[in-house]
Amino acid sequence: MTLSRRRFLGASAAAVMTAGIMTRGNVFGANNRIGVCVAGINGQGNSHIRDVTAEDDAEVLALCDVDQRVLERRAAELEQATGRKPKMYRDIRDALADDEIDAVSIATTNHWHALMSIWACQAGKDVFVEKPLSHNIWEGRQLVAAAEQTGRVVQHGTQSRCNATLIRDINLIHEGFIGNISHSRGYVFKNGNRHAIGHGENAQPPAFLDWTLWQGPAQEAPFQIKRGVEPRTGHHVHYDWHWFWEYGNGEIGNQGVHEMDIALWGHGRSDLPVYVQSTGGRYAWDDDGETPNTQATAFRFADGSMLTFEVRNLGSFHEADARACGNSFFGETGYYVHRKGFFDYQNNPIPVDEPEPPTPNKFAAFFKTMRTRNPEDNMAPPLEGHLSCVLCHAGNVAYRLGRSLDIDPELEKFKDDEANTMLAREYREGFEVPQLA
């Protein structure tokens, strides 16, 4: 039974779920290979194309992008590399109606992640979704519900969950190797490749870009170009969107979510904090960017333990263990520094005798889970990704409101009416994230 685009757009969510589940089992395409559509292929999506192509049991059957130039360029590159021309889609809904596609790999702008993933689940496709899996707290919970209700595999793009050293070391932390963890600290100091983005002015979108589809769930806004620049790319396209609240989540929700996920994972938390405060600003740069380039955030959990997180796109990172990004965990008898190991409080290394476990890379893990349908094989499940994203979003809400906030971890809400208005967003007609939880 083919799920046409017309039926996909017109059917209720329940009908689409049923049709997707009926049409998609564990039967894959030619030579039992998993057929993948990669959506959003200018930046990170290009690495998805390479990674999927490197796997023996999968192939990129289709590409999807709202920029026709990018779409044609990537298709030509893939055909040259593999000898096969992929299908090309501009609208993800057309790709989701294609029965040859088993899975969708999503590397679009943040504000598309949850809706595209939910649509894919409802169409019977498994999903690899880049971080963050949501643009706000509420829609992340809806994606978790979509995965549960449809039985689809959803793997979050926090690939550190596949890191053999981290798996070993965090298991040791959970076993009490340095005692109970009272404080975890994450940081992102991406000063080497972050800079002011300049100022923009309204312009007509170029013919090769479907600006309506690019905006998707976001409210209608004029296309902008950087002043004095030809409209080959827009002010928000293809990377500057990270620094606008309508589309991105700032650095804490960009590179930061990787480190936040490690911080929460190593902390051994399955609960959310009860308190958040965040402060900072967009310092030194004279540009249109809205999100902070410097942000310090602190969380407190019900048991009194804490998690701190720092973002800085200015200045040196050498005080942070000479790494641009990282994590530390502080226990009763010692501490742990990612990539450096365990130490006692006299700064003496604590040796580790246990070997690192064999682990697949992120797409090998994803494809294994697709075949086994065993949730325990999913190394970055949607619920874990959602909880990590909640902390990023909560930090941004506290920053934007300029005050500390109490959180109800069970309801995933703030104890603040104004803050609760920022749990979700107003979705554009035709691009609404459905309420599933």
> Domain of 111: which CATH number?
3.40.50.720
Average pLDDT value for residue range 297-323: 85
Task: Report the pLDDT averaged over residues 187-207.
Answer: 89
Q: Within this chain, do residues 96 and 173 fall inside the same structural domain, yes or no?
A: no
Assess whether 45 and 115 both reside in one domain: yes
Do residues 272 and 412 share a domain?
A: yes
| CA of residue 64 relative to chain centroid, distance | 18
Tokens 């590397």 sit on residue: 107
Q: What is the distance between the alpha carbons of residues 219 and 14, in angstroms, rounded to a whole number?
A: 26
Residues 277 and 263 in one domain: yes
* CATH (domain of 309): 3.30.360.10
Examine the pLDDT at 169 and tell me if it is beyond 70: yes
Task: Kindly state whether residue 435 falls inside one of the protein's structural domains.
Answer: no
What pLDDT was estimated at residue 369?
98
pLDDT band at 196 (very low <50, low <70, confident <90, very high): very high
Contact, 329 vs 178, CB < 8 A? yes
Higher pLDDT, 190 or 330: 330
Please give the average per-residue pLDDT across 188-206, as a whole number: 88
Is 237 a domain residue?
no
In terms of domains, do 281 and 133 share one?
no
pLDDT at site 321: 59
Mean pLDDT estimate for the chain: 91
How far apart are alpha carbons 298 and 275 in whole angstroms? 8
Q: Is residue 242 part of a domain?
A: no
Print the domain residue range for 147.
5-157+364-378
Residue 323 has pLDDT above 80, yes or no: no
Residue type, 410: E
Indicate the pTM of the whole model: 0.93
For position 115, what pLDDT does the model report?
Answer: 98
In terms of domains, do 392 and 297 share one? yes
The reply to whether 373 and 311 lie within a common domain is: no
Q: Give a yes or no: residue 26 inside a domain.
A: yes
- The pLDDT-based confidence of 360 (bands split at 50, 70, 90) is confident
Note the pLDDT of residue 270: 85
Least confident piece of the model among 2-11, 142-151, 172-181, 263-272: 2-11
Express as a percent the part of the chain with pLDDT over 90.
82
3-state helix, strand, coil in the chain (%, to 5): 35, 20, 45
Question: Which string of b and e fits 242-257 if b means at least 16 CB within 10 Å?
Answer: bbbbbbbbbbbbbbbb
Q: Are residues 70 and 175 in the same domain?
A: no
Span of 139-143, 193-197, 299-303 with lowest mean pLDDT: 193-197
* Mean pLDDT of all residues in 64-82: 97
Tell whether the model's pLDDT for residue 5 goes beyond 90: no
| Residue 434 within a domain | no
Q: Are residues 147 and 254 in the same domain?
A: no
The CA distance from 419 to 403, in Å, is 10
91 and 147: one domain? yes
Does 235 have pLDDT greater than 90? no
Binned at pLDDT 50, 70 and 90, residue 1 comes out as very low
Residue-level pLDDT at 324 = 84
Q: Is the dihedral of CA 40, 44, 48, 49 positive or negative?
A: positive
Q: In terms of domains, do 260 and 150 share one?
A: no
In a domain, 205, yes or no: no
Whether residues 118 and 170 share a domain: the answer is no
Question: How many helices (H) does the chain have, and how many strands (E)?
Answer: 13, 18
Asked if the structure places residue 398 within a domain, the reply is yes
The reported pLDDT for the residue numbered 322 is: 57
Q: Residue 28: its pLDDT value, please?
A: 79
Please determine, for residue 10, whether its predicted confidence score (pLDDT) is greater than 90.
no
Edge-to-edge strand ranges of the sheet holding 294-300: 349-350, 341-343, 335-337, 325-330, 183-188, 306-312, 294-300, 275-281, 405-408, 413-414
Instruction: Give the per-residue pLDDT at 18.
Output: 42
Total number of domains constituting the chain: 2
Q: What is the pLDDT of residue 4?
A: 45
Edge-first strand order for the sheet with 34-39 is: 87-89, 58-64, 34-39, 103-106, 126-129, 154-156
